[in-house]
Amino acid sequence: MRNKFIHNQTISITMAEADVFAMEYFMKICGLNREGVKYQRMLKQGMEIKERIRDSVQIKAVISSFPGNSIEDNTAVFNGVPFHCNAFQRLDPAHVIGVYVYILTAGIFEMEHDEPILDQLYADIWGTAYVDAGIEILKKYVENDLEENHTDHEKITVLSSFGPGFYGMDVNQISSFFEVLDGSKIGVHARSNSLMLPLKSCAGFYVAVDDKTDLPDSDCESCQSEYKNCAFCQTVVKGNS
């Protein structure tokens, strides 16, 4: 068990730290990792937009950690706030070392409405790329924290981040993250319709385990159904019970 827990800790991630990941994601999203004069021209334009939005890249996160026994069945409870997600059903609480709950933003990437549509699109895609990059780097922070505070465990794996909109987790649970974390510390808040502002923001979990437990297959990642109504999920649940 952890002896030291993180509580509403803020983390700033520099553009330099995120650039390697962001570039990879940007090219993948735009399909620019191909040969040809056309793609070289598009990439050049995309890189010009990257320089224009440089001052907009403000990647920050607020994060808290909780013990593994916070999870039971398909529900996790943090600071008295329940979260329901099908993916929790796959985890063995006896082998969950800890859960890290976070809110992350990459900044504001909106351009003037009279800017060319393609420029606006590139700016939006860069925003998404820097969010994804921030999630990747935040995972490294989690792994470092675990390494410093869990010398008694030989092998700890941090599972891929997930949250509302994944594995049947209702997007309406976005508001619950703001009951656990102080989003105002990084300038993020949620509207009543679960829309996060700035738009290039996200919330989720990192789960650390000391066994070979993993999240469901990618086919289930974007599932929006309730596990009680899913024949596949029921098979998994019965097999784990």
The pLDDT tens digits for 18-45 are 999 999 999 999 998 888 899 899 999 9
**In what helix (H) or strand (E) does residue 83 lie, and over which residues does it extend?**
strand 81-84
168: Cα separation from own chain's centroid: 15
What confidence tier does 106 reach under pLDDT thresholds 50, 70, 90?
Answer: very high
Preceding amide of 164 cis, omega within 30: no
The whole-number pLDDT of residue 241 equals: 43
Q: What is the mean pLDDT of the chain?
A: 88
The whole-number pLDDT of residue 230 equals: 56
Residue bearing tokens 């509580």 = 7
What confidence tier does 233 reach under pLDDT thresholds 50, 70, 90?
Answer: low
Instruction: Please name the residues in contact with 199: beta carbons below 8 A apart, sequence gap of 6 or more.
Output: 108, 109, 110, 127
What confidence tier does 228 reach under pLDDT thresholds 50, 70, 90?
Answer: low
Rounded Cα gap, residues 174 and 21, in angstroms: 25
The whole-number pLDDT of residue 2 equals: 45
CATH number given to 9-240: 3.40.109.40
Predicted TM-score (pTM) of this structure: 0.87
The whole-number pLDDT of residue 179 equals: 97
Is 187 in contact with 105 (CB distance < 8 Å)? yes
Give bridge partners of residue 76 from the DSSP assignment. 71, 83
Over residues 98-121, mean pLDDT: 94
Q: Where are the domains of the chain?
A: 9-240
Rounded Cα gap, residues 55 and 133, in angstroms: 17
Helix ranges, 31-79 (H): 37-52
